[in-house]
Structure 1
Amino acid sequence: MSDKEIYRRILKFTNLAETNNKIDLELYDKYGVKRGLRNKNGTGVLAGLTEIGDVIGYNLKDGDKIPAEGRLLYRGIDVKDIVDGFQVENRYGFEEVCYLLLFGSLPTRNELKEFNEILGESREIPDGFTEDMILKAPSPNIMNKLARSVLATYSYDDNPDDTSIENMLRQCIELIARFPILVAYAFQAKSHYYDNKSLYIHNTTRNLSTAENFLHMLRVDNKFTKSEAELLDLCLVLHAEHGGGNNSAFTARVVSSSGTDTYSAIAAAIGSLKGPKHGGANNKVRQMMDDIKSHINNWDDKKEIADYLTKILKKQANDGSGLIYGMGHAIYTLSDPRAVMLKKKAYQLAIEKDMMKEFNLYESIENLAPEVFAKVKGSSKDICANVDFYSGFVYSMLQIPPELYTPIFAIARIGGWCAHRIEEFYGANRIIRPAYKNITEPSEYKELGKR
């Protein structure tokens, strides 16, 4: 029987499966279920404690959310201060942030030097891995290939199930070092086997920063400018951590709480990040912007832009979702600090790349969207541009293909995932098992001939 015939026969059961898996949304209120682990006022259900990251987007007063300027803290330190600190010294910051997330304190100059050396030495992937695990089984989606590669690493580890702190740290540091290589090789394999392009497998370089090394491996000629590497490094820093409640970090914690190995927990987090409601959101922004650019004649005409945004919100344009992607956030209200910092750096590169016309379009949409949203929805809800709004534009200026947007997010977030895994394993040390209420009415079994 052919695959097509099997699929045709499966289709007969579609309506049955769909009908028997729908739950009346009113029942969630009836039983007091916090759908999506969100409270009615939009705050998250408290599910754990962490010292790793904190996301501040509002203040609470008598149970009500009071809008506030957004702040993001890594181990209690404002990420803006971290960024200002390494940029004023004209150096890269991602490695410093990984050290901070893993070990809980900022490194001294000597500690950072040693950590960078360890990361550089750990970039080499096992013999035969590229050929057997990446080139022989290319994937059209790099996130799936990354997850498979992480799981496959288990087989190349001489001590994969040892959950001692020293072994877990060794595994985590190796994954932080190798993620850019795995992504770069997966992209090259995809480009060659699916897009009929030439295959380029560049050797990794030990003495470059993570951002520099990734651009070195991605570019056909290995070339990149300092401003390009600095902007990518900033992206990595700003995406490295976002509190324990984000979907992929929570996934890493849930899986880690079972006591399983590092590779299983991180592969699960990758699967979570792939989703368009999480790490795939920046691609939604890119697709929306392509649609807007193709339908707006005058990018400087604010009224024309506002009219088209109105159509998007009314589900009359773009993908019919009624969403202006990149605008609004579950926690941030007045501003997303990541978007603020990324926009500032994007402006500088837009001048260098002669892309100010496009930058101005993004800025116009950012400024107009809240007004249009309030008018169409009749809502006073505060919405701001989130990090996904500008990250796709940044990657396009860096000539990074869209299929790499979410994998770059994973390259950045692996440090945060590892920190949450370690904290869950040693700090909480209890399997996460929430309750689900069964609302099915009891029924009797019927013999096959009587159904």
Structure 2
Amino acid sequence: MNSSLVRAARSIAHPRRPNIDGGLPARSASTLAETLESQVPAKRLALAELKKNHGSKVIGKVTIDQLIGGARGVKCMLWETSNLDAEEGIRFRGLTIPECQQVLPTFSGKAGDGEPLLESIIWLLLTSEVPTKAQVDGLTAELHERSSKLPKHVVPLLNSLPRDMHPMTQFSIGLNAAQTASVFAKAYADGVPKNEYHKFALEDILNVFAVIPEIAATIYRNVYFDGIVKKDQTLDYSGNFCRMLGYDDPSFDELMRLYLCIHTDHEGGNASAHTTHLVGSTLSDPYLSYAAGLNALAGPLHGLANQEVLKWIQALQEKFAKEGKEVNADTITEFAWETLNAKKVVPGYGHAVLRKTDPRYTCQREFGLKHMPDDPLFKIVDTIYSVMPGVLKEHGKVANPYPNVDSHSGVLLWHYGFTQYQYYTVLFGVSRAVGGLSQLYWDRALGLALERPKSHTPEWLENFAKNNPDA
């Protein structure tokens, strides 16, 4: 392989680090589409060379237990945008959450001063590069402009839905209805060459990013308020979304920037990301692919978890008030053991992969310490954090006794009066679009294949185990 191409491939496989003084390396401004188009040839060549030279190498094994248990831990996906480490948590294109907070542009314009803009995470996940503020501002303007591409029939359709229909069901309906605007679907029907799929996929992806805040806000305003959605496109993506929801508080804007950024991606094996990738592998367009991902996210074992945590904390608070007990380490320890002895799960603790405190929990805790240190629910969460890992370690039946992202997010939202926790998963859905669809762009750019794993019957497994006792 040509050495210059090797260097090019490596340079775009890893994010640009900040200079030692905290500044960003100087480079000429370019649009997101131009940046991606310049990366595609070398990435395609690097992947082809990887497959040619190392395609037969074994990177893992599959046990019958893993097969029955939902393919847990099976290494069988290519995922560009993030990697989840059991010890240190998520890395977005190689950057930890604290590193993202340090180097990505913020609303103030200065990296490290406030939470990163969602537009900067979009740029990072798609390109693997830390963007400049000018590039982020250009992307903000582009997404605001693209928001006008929400088909005219979508909002009337949402307005016609029953108010008691679950917000996630409405979100899926709204995005599916917006699919009539798909550029990719039209290009495919017109016979565009396969090596150009990514260009039309990008058009759809950016349009989905642009229109889902209005879909989500319309649902929120319809179900809980007056149905009126007001925009403020002088703000960034997250700030404008807050105004559409009906919130006008700079501190809440910062929380939404943090919330949307940290929920964007968690490597490819989680249900919503994997579903988006799987459906996209059939060459369904990005609208249909992510609508499928939303349906996975709506499951109680995935995106509904943070509302379950909030309910548990509020039940704890109510129980202690009725019994005249103070909320402290001793009483919370007692309550935790009551929960565990009743064979119930302590929500918000444990993770399928992580074996330490989720960095997404930590950054939310730091936000709480800064913005709401005296909030009663925040104090309870902080006290739970001080005792729960020890309780769970003593219990001995939890692989990871530390808090995950869901342990905190609902409490932060509640502080600002965002009390409609049945809607919380929609916020998650607005965020997770960024990770799932950023990967879908590279699926099409690299020409990844239709996903089609091999399945086996229970009888086949029984025969295999009987005939291979030493396997």
> How high is the TM-score relative to the length of structure 1?
0.79
**Out of 422, 445, 457, which is 1:426 matched to?**
445
Note if 1:36 corresponds to 2:77: no
Counterparts of 1:77 and 1:378 in 2: how far apart (Å)? Answer: 33
Note if 1:141 corresponds to 2:166: yes
Matches within 5 A, 1:323-362: 323-351=345-373, 354-355=374-375, 357-362=376-381
Query: Aligned pair in 2 of structure 1 residues 427, 48: CA closer, same or farther (>3 Å)?
Result: farther
**Out of 216, 222, 247, which is 1:189 matched to?**
222
Counterparts of 2:328 and 2:137 in 1: how far apart (Å)? Answer: 51
Secondary structure of 2:168 counterpart: helix
Counterparts of 1:440 and 1:71 in 2: how far apart (Å)? Answer: 38
Counterparts of 1:184 and 1:32 in 2: how far apart (Å)? Answer: 40
Letter in 1 for 2:283: G
Contact 1:138 1:189 in 2 (8 A): no
Secondary structure of 1:296 counterpart: helix
Letter in 2 for 1:333: R
Equivalent residue, structure 1, for 2:7: none
Equivalent residue, structure 2, for 1:3: none
Counterparts of 2:351 and 2:287 in 1: how far apart (Å)? Answer: 30
Equivalent residue, structure 1, for 2:28: none
Note if 1:308 corresponds to 2:342: no
Secondary structure of 1:160 counterpart: helix
Equivalent residue, structure 2, for 1:254: 278
Contact 1:138 1:186 in 2 (8 A): no
Equivalent residue, structure 2, for 1:126: 150
Note if 1:394 corresponds to 2:412: yes
Query: Which stretch of the first structure deviates more once superposed, 77-86 or 333-342?
Result: 77-86
**Out of 100, 107, 110, which is 2:134 matched to?**
110
Counterparts of 1:167 and 1:440 in 2: how far apart (Å)? Answer: 45
Secondary structure of 2:84 counterpart: strand
1:354-402 Cα shifts (integer Å, max 9, x gaps): 41x3222111212222222233x33484421111000011111122221
Counterparts of 1:378 and 1:32 in 2: how far apart (Å)? Answer: 22
Note if 1:174 corresponds to 2:189: no
Letter in 2 for 1:56: D
Equivalent residue, structure 1, for 2:267: 243
Query: Aligned pair in 2 of structure 1 residues 162, 120: CA closer, same or farther (>3 Å)?
Result: same
Equivalent residue, structure 2, for 1:373: 392
1:152-177 Cα shifts (integer Å, max 9, x gaps): 11224466343522221111111112
> How high is the TM-score relative to the length of structure 2?
0.75
1:178 Cα offset (Å): 1.6
Query: Which stretch of the first structure deviates more once superposed, 414-423 or 158-167?
Result: 158-167
Secondary structure of 2:382 counterpart: helix
Query: Aligned pair in 2 of structure 1 residues 73, 29: CA closer, same or farther (>3 Å)?
Result: closer
Counterparts of 1:373 and 1:399 in 2: how far apart (Å)? Answer: 32
Query: Aligned pair in 2 of structure 1 residues 246, 208: CA closer, same or farther (>3 Å)?
Result: same
Secondary structure of 1:55 counterpart: strand
1:440 Cα offset (Å): 6.7
Counterparts of 1:270 and 1:127 in 2: how far apart (Å)? Answer: 19
Query: Aligned pair in 2 of structure 1 residues 379, 200: CA closer, same or farther (>3 Å)?
Result: closer
1:138 Cα offset (Å): 3.8
1:44-75 Cα shifts (integer Å, max 9, x gaps): 10012222101112xxxxxxxxxx3x232111
Contact 1:124 1:204 in 2 (8 A): no
Counterparts of 2:438 and 2:447 in 1: how far apart (Å)? Answer: 13
Matches within 5 A, 1:69-80: 70-80=88-98
Counterparts of 1:71 and 1:35 in 2: how far apart (Å)? Answer: 23
Matches within 5 A, 1:409-420: 409-420=428-439
Counterparts of 2:146 and 2:360 in 1: how far apart (Å)? Answer: 29
Equivalent residue, structure 1, for 2:463: none
Q: Percent identity?
A: 22
Secondary structure of 1:37 counterpart: coil
Query: Aligned pair in 2 of structure 1 residues 188, 359: CA closer, same or farther (>3 Å)?
Result: same
Query: Which stretch of the first structure deviates more once superposed, 430-439 or 306-315?
Result: 430-439
Secondary structure of 2:148 counterpart: coil
Equivalent residue, structure 1, for 2:194: none
Contact 2:309 2:410 in 1 (8 A): yes
1:420 Cα offset (Å): 1.8
Secondary structure of 2:89 counterpart: strand
Query: Aligned pair in 2 of structure 1 residues 89, 305: CA closer, same or farther (>3 Å)?
Result: closer
Counterparts of 1:386 and 1:281 in 2: how far apart (Å)? Answer: 10
Equivalent residue, structure 2, for 1:49: 78
Query: Aligned pair in 2 of structure 1 residues 281, 31: CA closer, same or farther (>3 Å)?
Result: closer
In structure 1, list runs of 5 or more residues that go unmatched.
Answer: 1-27, 39-43, 58-67, 192-197, 316-320, 442-451
Contact 2:278 2:451 in 1 (8 A): yes
Contact 1:248 1:269 in 2 (8 A): yes
Counterparts of 2:387 and 2:447 in 1: how far apart (Å)? Answer: 44
Note if 1:94 corresponds to 2:118: yes
Contact 2:85 2:353 in 1 (8 A): yes
Equivalent residue, structure 2, for 1:202: 229
1:223 Cα offset (Å): 2.2
Query: Aligned pair in 2 of structure 1 residues 439, 235: CA closer, same or farther (>3 Å)?
Result: same
Letter in 2 for 1:152: A
Query: Aligned pair in 2 of structure 1 residues 32, 122: CA closer, same or farther (>3 Å)?
Result: closer
Contact 1:257 1:431 in 2 (8 A): yes
Contact 2:155 2:218 in 1 (8 A): no
Letter in 2 for 1:408: L
Contact 1:184 1:217 in 2 (8 A): yes
Contact 1:123 1:206 in 2 (8 A): no
Query: Aligned pair in 2 of structure 1 residues 111, 143: CA closer, same or farther (>3 Å)?
Result: same
Query: Aligned pair in 2 of structure 1 residues 31, 296: CA closer, same or farther (>3 Å)?
Result: closer
